Chain A
Amino acid sequence: MALLADFIQNTLDGLTAGASYALLALGFTLIFGVLRRANLSYGPAILFGAYCATWISASFQVGLLVLFVITVGGTVLAGAYVERLCFAPHRRGSAIAAMVASFALWMQFEELATLALPRHLYGFPALYEGGPLIFGPFFLRVESVVMLLTGIAICAALWAILYRSRFGTAVRAVIDDPAAAELSGINVPRVFIQVFALASAIGGLTGFLIVSSQEQVTPMLGMWSTLKGMLAMMLGGLGSLPGAVAGGLALGLLEAHSQWYLGPQVRDLLAYLLLFVLLALRAPWMSTRSAY
């Protein structure tokens, strides 16, 4: 019984972490699908948004809603800067140059964050002050419920945007074939900017949920978000939206269970091992066209 209870509790925890990974992977995969380029600065842009909010909340007495708006706004602003400097100039050019440029801006965000707030760790107002929900032997944090529900809501909203609007049709056309989309009159550079803004907004929202449920921020948030987002995106297959969700949840579950039974180092080892093996075996859902 105890074993089963552990298993269920770990599954609940894994789904919660998985929901945040899935959201990060969705942002990544949106950008990747449209631009065919990996944005290494995706996580650091979230770091920028979260640090803006932390800085404001350390100086002024403001509510959670204001902090939420600042986090999302800061992330979108940072995303716009990344798009203008790293991706717009290399739209037809080198994918490697775009990726390395996005890494260069990552360094900027990280140093900016530590200059503004030099301590290693800062508190962040809690998303929910009360205790966890208790069902018999199981605990479920209210923050986890919010994370899961937000994940589902974002997926539904994204589906509606991408499959039920003119903008979504344009985005899917660009994903399928940028040249043909351009020839049929779609303003491809504008779609790039819009998708970047959309992905950054999702990133900002995810970042806000993560830091307000952990009640703290560290400069590691940038690298953490980029690594987890890329890992989840790759596990589910590059550029696929349902794949991003599946990859995120799978990663969350794998981590929660392996951490419980084998410890945190083996947890990370197993996640990378799974990715390596799936890539080496060229899992069928991963073998799309050549891509950076």
Chain B
Amino acid sequence: MDEHAIGVLTNIALFSFVALSAYLLLLAGELSFGQQAFFGVGAYAAGIATAMLGLPLPLAVLIAMVCGAAAAVLVGLPTLRLRGLYFAMATLAAAEMLRILFELFRWQVEIDGEAVGPDGTQGFRGIRWIFERGVEPLHFLVIAWLLLGVVVVMLMLVERSKLGAAIRAIGEDPPLAGAVGVDVGRLKLGVAAAAGALAALGGALFAHHNTYIEPRNFDIMLGVHSLAYALIGGLGTALGPLLGVALDIGLLESTRIFEGYRMIVFGGLVAVLLVWRPRGLLDERVVHWLRTRFS
């Protein structure tokens, strides 16, 4: 495979994590403008763990996921009782606060005569774990897709279980879900924590793929893009958000047919698609039809 294709496929995998994170919350009936913050928390946490503390990448990814889940719980506890745009704006406020805190965050240590660590708006350079270990781009691609595969399979198993039904129930009708014995508050917090961990996992891989991160990577554009990915791909299955990312990054950004016009094409496509299919390409009906057809 050529370098360009590897780069595109890796990016699809990385952004699928944050799209899945938005998707999970959408299933539970919450619209978040702030999942980019947990992507950022994961990126910074994993970068600090490998480049500054000298920990191995797998451990760093785990730490990043714990940090992402913890941050999501901290944001979720006071806000998850809000509905609709109130919750969306609260998550946006939290995410923008975090982004500004990244801009103010300076903590560097000297490693081999070189200052390494977050340097405010200058970003965080030299997250080189995979290059120092000689991990080939192709290997990293396989690792990212394997992790994504594990996550998707887990999500699909959850969706087929009672837990998945409960999550969709609190998304559809919280009082009714409460009446049939679902602990709405706790389940929502759990979903938010899982979504935070997922976004952080994507962020941890993103930081190591790019070797350089800066606060601007984690602005609202990423958050709203991930929502759009989840929604155009479809809310019927965990494969939906992947389809959304693949459509944008794979089809439009990388083919260069629409060079310079990509966002005009993508924007129009999304708006028209949503008129026709307001819950995305792979919505519940399509997924149900496919399932009855092929099982």
Contacts and interface: CB of A to CB of B under 8 A. Distances in A.
Interface stretch (A45-53, A107-115, A179-187): A107-115
Interface string B231-270: 1100000000000000000000000000011111011111
B118 to A, nearest CB: 15
A291 B85 contact: yes
A280 B278 contact: no
Interface of B is mostly: helix
Contacts of A100: 224, 227-228, 231-232, 270, 274
B96 A279 contact: no
A285 interface: no
Interface residues of B, number: 43
Contacts of B216: none
Interface string A79-92: 00000011001100
A90 B231 CA distance: 14
A235 to B, nearest CB: 10
Say what secondary structure dominates the interface of chain A.
helix
Interface stretch (A14-22, A163-171, A204-212, A268-276): A268-276
Contacts of A112: 264
A111 B275 CA distance: 22
Contact of B275 (A85, A227, A234): A85
A173 interface: no
A interface bracket (residues with beta carbon within 8 Å of B) = 35 or more
B86 A40 contact: no
A111 B82 contact: no
Interface string A84-104: 011001100111111111011
A8 B271 CA distance: 47
Nearest to B103: A265
A104 B268 contact: yes
Given A108-B264, A269-B97, A286 B86 contact: yes
A280 B93 CA distance: 11
A98 B271 CA distance: 8
A234 B278 CA distance: 26
Contacts of B232: 100
B275 A89 contact: yes
Nearest to B277: A97
Nearest to B227: A100
Contacts of B88: 38, 292
Contact of B278 (A93, A104, A230, A282): A93
B268 A265 contact: no
B100 A269 contact: yes
Contacts of A85: 271-272, 275
B82 A279 contact: yes
Interface of A: 32, 38, 40, 85-86, 89-90, 93-101, 103-108, 110-112, 115, 223, 227, 230, 234, 238, 265, 268-269, 272-273, 275-276, 279-280, 282, 286, 290-292
